[in-house]
Amino acid sequence: MPTQEPIVALRGVHKSFGALKVLDGVDFEVQRGNVLVIIGRSGSGKSTALRCIDRFETIDQGEIVVCGHRVHDPRLNLRALRQDIGIVFQSYNLFPHLTLEENIILAPCSVKGVSKKQAREQARLALAQVGLEDKLHQYPEQLSGGQQQRGAIARSLAMQPKVMLFDEVTSALDPELTGEVLKVIEALAADGMTMVMVTHEMGFARSIADTVVFMHRGKVHETGPASILSAPATPELAQFVGAGF
């Protein structure tokens, strides 16, 4: 059988901010239905790599292909790319003057041209997926941090993306709220959602990752199954895991 094309592929990706080299020849790929977790110290380039996948940042050199979109191509149809990718950041970015439902139907209506009736049904289903169906008409300030983050995940899910990107989505939450958000992500993984995650939750990375990418000084320093977290091949990863990051 022919090998499936990866849904996400980074090949020889370089990115600098001025004189600072942030990505230095980064390569990794994600197959459909797999979860790739990127770990590494602050400043190792992991969040920048994630932002390049969604073209929040443009790259200096190399190739990024996502769902068949050539992200590195200046002629990229950004609107088409963003319909295939959902991204959730550590800050929830929900509009405070809109209810949870209104926050969620905004993009399907304006970007995809979905009818309000259909968008409301998609919002209800997405909120049910994250356990918030009863919060449909509440405003963000009426929700806990964990609920707001789950609402942000539902907002991405309502666009029916092919890939979900998560950038340190639990770093602003206390442990109890972190647990409820991670449960939602675990359920998405069990449903076969393709995901790329930047996280500092090592226990979670061990339990969910098909592939772990350890970034160090802008390079992919070590990559493999989740078991590399228990048996690192390099002193840098051993030190990182041992330091309890």
- In the chain, what are the domain boundaries? 8-242
Q: Which residues pair with 164 in a beta bridge?
A: 86, 195
User: Whats the size of the chain, residue-wise?
Assistant: 245
User: Dihedral angle at the C-alpha atoms of 67, 37, 87, 93, nearest 10 degrees?
Assistant: 180
Q: What is the pLDDT of residue 2?
A: 43
Structure tokens at 46: 């992991």
What are the φ/ψ torsions at residue 61 (nearest 5 degrees)?
A: -160, 150
**What is the full per-residue pLDDT of the chain (245 aa) written as tens digits?**
445 789 999 999 999 999 999 999 999 999 999 999 999 999 999 999 999 999 999 999 999 999 999 999 999 999 899 899 999 988 888 999 999 999 999 989 888 888 999 999 999 999 999 999 999 999 999 999 999 999 999 999 999 999 999 999 888 888 888 889 999 999 999 999 999 999 988 989 999 999 999 999 999 999 999 999 999 999 999 999 985 54
Contact 67, 85 (CB under 8 A): yes
**Cα→Cα distances 7→30, 31, 34, 221, 239, Å:** 6, 5, 9, 22, 32
Q: What is the pLDDT of residue 172?
A: 82
Number of helical H runs and strand E runs in the chain = 8, 10
The fold of 8-242 is: Rossmann fold (3.40.50)
Q: What is the pLDDT of residue 127?
A: 94
**pTM of the model as a whole:** 0.92
Distance CA 164, CA 210 (A): 15
Q: What is the pLDDT of residue 167?
A: 94
Q: What is the pLDDT of residue 245?
A: 47
Contact 199, 207 (CB under 8 A): no
Structure tokens at 148: 């707001």
DSSP E strands in 75-137: the ranges are 85-88
- Which single residue is written with the structure tokens 């941090």? 145
Pairing, β 85-88 against β 163-167? parallel
Distance CA 131, CA 87 (A): 19
What are the φ/ψ torsions at residue 136 (nearest 5 degrees)?
A: -45, -45
Q: Is 98 exposed, middle or buried (0-12, 13-18, 19+ CB in 10 A)?
A: middle
CB neighbour list of residue 70: distance below 8 Å, 6 or more residues apart = 63, 64, 76
